Amino acid sequence: MRRPFARVLALAAAAAAIPLVSTAPATADVVIGGYPVEISESPWTVALSSRDRFGGTRAGQFCGGVVIGRSTVLTAAHCLSEEVLGAPPRQVRDLRVVAGRGDLLSDEGKEIAIRETWINPRYDGYTNAGDFAVLTLAEPLAASSVIRMAGPEDAAYRTGTDAVVYGWGDTTSGGDYARALRAARVRVLSDTVCEGAYPGSADGTYLAGSMLCAGEGAGGRDACQGDSGGPLVAQGRLIGLVSWGSGCGRADSPGVYTRVSEVVRTLGAGR
């Protein structure tokens, strides 16, 4: 017969094994749980860069952005915050948009100066509501780089819709930033799911109407740090900008995106 002490040890070993198994993400690697994509497949995905602020090893990439007009790029408001840049944006002299470059270490595509920066004055750094900003480029991109934004009634916002998020962000939640562009497949989740996950916490508060909830029920696929401002695309239209979340790719903590219909409404009303 086994002695009780040995039984306790055996149970402890079994219990210890559980977290080890469950913390190994099922499909860890974007963006989290992603795959490499060619920039030519998503020419509207751009990188925001400042070598002064973020160093030159990855061309200074620190956020994503989306081309919504030949000279207009949308990004997250929080990407241009002093907290991220370490200085007000106007003091960051080498702030640029890198377009047409999938591999940050290559010299494909071009680096374009920014002529004007508009940060949504209604952005709320506490809830994260209104997390978008508009950059006007010093020179226009090709019309083929522009993606259409989904308007308020667009079917692409419906719960269950397949969507893809793109970025050069952390692929493991451990600070392993991608060198080349990646994408992850997620699904539009109901507002109820994110309202339940984010009723109001240090990370933010989910507000249906101005935010969009997306991920995978079981976790595994998600955006992560460094992907902010980048696109969430469904049915060929832009539906979200990477904004926030709690950790990355965790079950029960979906990704929260700026709802693009809210951007369309704001810009349509003359900002």
List, by residue number, the catalytic residues.
Answer: 78, 131, 228
Q: How far is the CB of 194 from ligand ARG (least distance, A)?
A: 11
Judged by CB under 6 A, which stretch of 10-18, 21-29, 205-213, 241-249 contacts ligand ARG? 241-249
Q: How far is the CB of 148 from ligand ARG (least distance, A)?
A: 23
Q: Closer CB to ligand ARG, residue 146 or residue 178?
A: 178
User: Position 78: which residue type?
Assistant: H
Binding mask 207-236 for ligand ARG (x = CB under 6 A): ---------------xxxxxxx--------
On the CB side of 111, how many CA atoms lie within 13 Å of its CA? 14
- Tell me if residue 262 falls in helix, strand or coil: helix
Q: Phi/psi of residue 200, each to 5°?
A: 140, 110
Residue 66 interacts with ligand ARG (CB under 6 A): yes or no: no
Size of the site for ligand ARG (CB under 6 A): 13
Element (H, E) at 89: none
β-strand pairing of 110-119 with 182-189:
unpaired
Q: Closer CB to ligand ARG, residue 134 or residue 232?
A: 232
Token reading at 84:
């991220």
Q: How far is the CB of 12 from ligand ARG (least distance, A)?
A: 33
Q: Closer CB to ligand ARG, residue 102 or residue 219?
A: 219
> Which residues fall within 8 angstroms of residue 18, CB to CB, at 6 or more apart?
none
Which residue sits closest to ligand ARG, CB atoms considered? 245
Q: Closer CB to ligand ARG, residue 247 or residue 268?
A: 247
Q: What is the DSSP string of 151-190?
A: -TT-GGGSTT-EEEEEES-BSSSSS-B-SB-EEEEEEEE-
Q: What is the DSSP letter of 7?
A: H
Q: Which residues bind ligand ARG (CB under 6 A)?
A: 169, 222-228, 242, 244-245, 248, 255
